[in-house]
Structure 1
């Protein structure tokens, strides 16, 4: 049995594994990977990897690929308890007919993957909030980054929000506590960031405006507004200027602060966007560990 789907413009330049979850259901990453390798899922009649990005009018073909909620329950290794669901529901900033906004905790993934058993999409799939629908992930936030995160409640909202993020019409503000003093108190970083897809080197342009809110000879509190949305963009850029973020165990110079700072001191503080002429602004309060380090390092933030 064969099924075919044409990629709509709102999903242009999206990874195929993400397209599958947005359009076919909350399918575990492992099952997607296996189906792509075996040829049960093809792009334009060709086998491809999960990292391949789809383009408008591409054809995604499914061959003898049957997927139901019963299969979902068998494939998901982690089934969230009621306590975990309630814990995350308590972090809701807004809950409307189209989407929910969370103050995401550090240490929890946004959606499932090969190394993520506990994630927000699976947790909220069992929540009463999504009783007659399902959560759609519309943007990314690193597992160890806290702060504002949005999940759509239905496909139309997911397509709209995904499009806003892709067109850079969602304005994000991050806060970070980093080592040392930055040379300039404000400016813009323009970098060529390198990442690897298997053994292939990929170089991407990355732009971020920044402003130092407070600093001393030891550390700085930095406000950052990314213009592009590259993987680990802010963490890489601060590392590149010689001021890695406290608690970052990937982009760092030494292990000196590992025992003291178990959390990554990067927080998605605010998101702004507009839908049909209506302005939306969401702000996520700082985590207690973030405020504690501000106090310890004698850094001031007006709202902390």
Structure 2
């Protein structure tokens, strides 16, 4: 069923997502974005973004959407079992009045999303650790990346830590086992990384300091300190120089396509920052599968 609406003068120069909510109901932004991407909502028969400014006389079409039905459907949150909660509580490195630090396992998202249900925020919202507070995610870590991860216990700390990350005052160290022998033992990678958002090409400058801890003709163990915080930055940069990370099925060089590891060999090893003149340093020990591959590939590292 196709419905058409003509924009009147009271809505001139209004954002499309605001018009949708005003006209069609209090629809979740995620549903608005999804409907626009799939072409179920169009303006003058064209796909546009949610931020698109509509004008008087524009025609807005909806295609086979029952918004009321979608709104009535309750979003089912992930409900962690007691065992999952306990397993993640056992990974906590530090627990204080303002935040916790844990050694995140590979294979779990830090917060819920369209493709991920099981996540740390929902898990710890049911934990005794957050009995008198609620968990706030303050930075990103890929689902398949293991290692140091911080969750704030209150809004004030969440805002402070988020600001520290944004201002690059949190110093992160990652470890990775990558395919092949990295040519230079240390240096800096400076890249123009490309990503796409709503069909638009975006180029972002990325910088990473690196040092090769050990290497042979088959692989390298490398320490990386990102200066910028672009999405998939380290994975993309290693892929660009021809040394993709073991277990990375998204960014992998074709000559290393065989024998893919089950786990992504990328680990957030250490985080350092300062709050009120107090220094904080947290280190996450390597997971067993990471140590096993180091041994199998005859690399040297003192954990």
Which TM class, normalised by the smaller chain length?
A: 0.7 to 0.9
The answer as to 2:87 corresponding to 1:90 is no
Is the CA contact 2:209–2:225 (under 8 Å) kept in the aligned structure 1?
A: yes
Is 2:245 the partner of 1:245?
yes
Corresponding residue of 2:258: 256
Q: Please name the residue that 2:291 is paired with.
A: 291
CA RMSD of aligned residues (A): 2.1
Alignment check: 8 A CA contact 1:33 1:49 kept: no
Q: 1:219 matched to which residue of 2?
A: 219
Unpaired runs of 5+ residues, structure 1, are: 1-29, 39-46, 51-70
Partner SS state of residue 156, structure 2:
helix
Runs of 4+, deviation exceeding 3 Å: 35-38, 47-50
**Distance across 1 between alignment mates of 2:245 and 2:276:** 37
- Tell me if structure 1 keeps the 8 A contact 2:49–2:198: no
How does 1:74-113 map onto structure 2 within 5 Å? 74-113=74-113
Q: Tell me if the contact between 1:37 and 1:48 (Cα under 8 Å) persists in the aligned partners.
A: no
Instruction: Calculate the TM-score normalised by the size of structure 2.
Output: 0.77
Which residue is equivalent to 1:187?
187
8 Å CA contact 1:37, 1:49 repeated in 2: no
Larger radius of gyration: 2
The answer for the alignment partner of 1:11 in structure 2 is none
Match of 2:153 in 1: 153
1:107-126 alignment, distance < 5 Å:
107-126=107-126
How far did residue 36 of structure 1 move?
Answer: 6.5
CA deviation map 1:71-107 (0-9, x unaligned): 9x95234210000000100000000000000100000
Counterpart position of 2:205: 205
Structure 1 residue 302, shift from structure 2 partner? 1.2
Q: Which runs of 5+ in 2 are unaligned?
A: 1-26, 36-47, 52-70
**2:140 is matched with which residue?**
140
Q: Deviations over 1:230-279 (max 9, x none)?
A: 00000000000010000000001243022xx1000000000000000000
Inter-CA distance 81–249: structure 2 relative to 1 (3 Å threshold): same
Task: State the alpha-carbon separation in 2 of the partners of residues 152 and 206 from structure 1.
Answer: 27
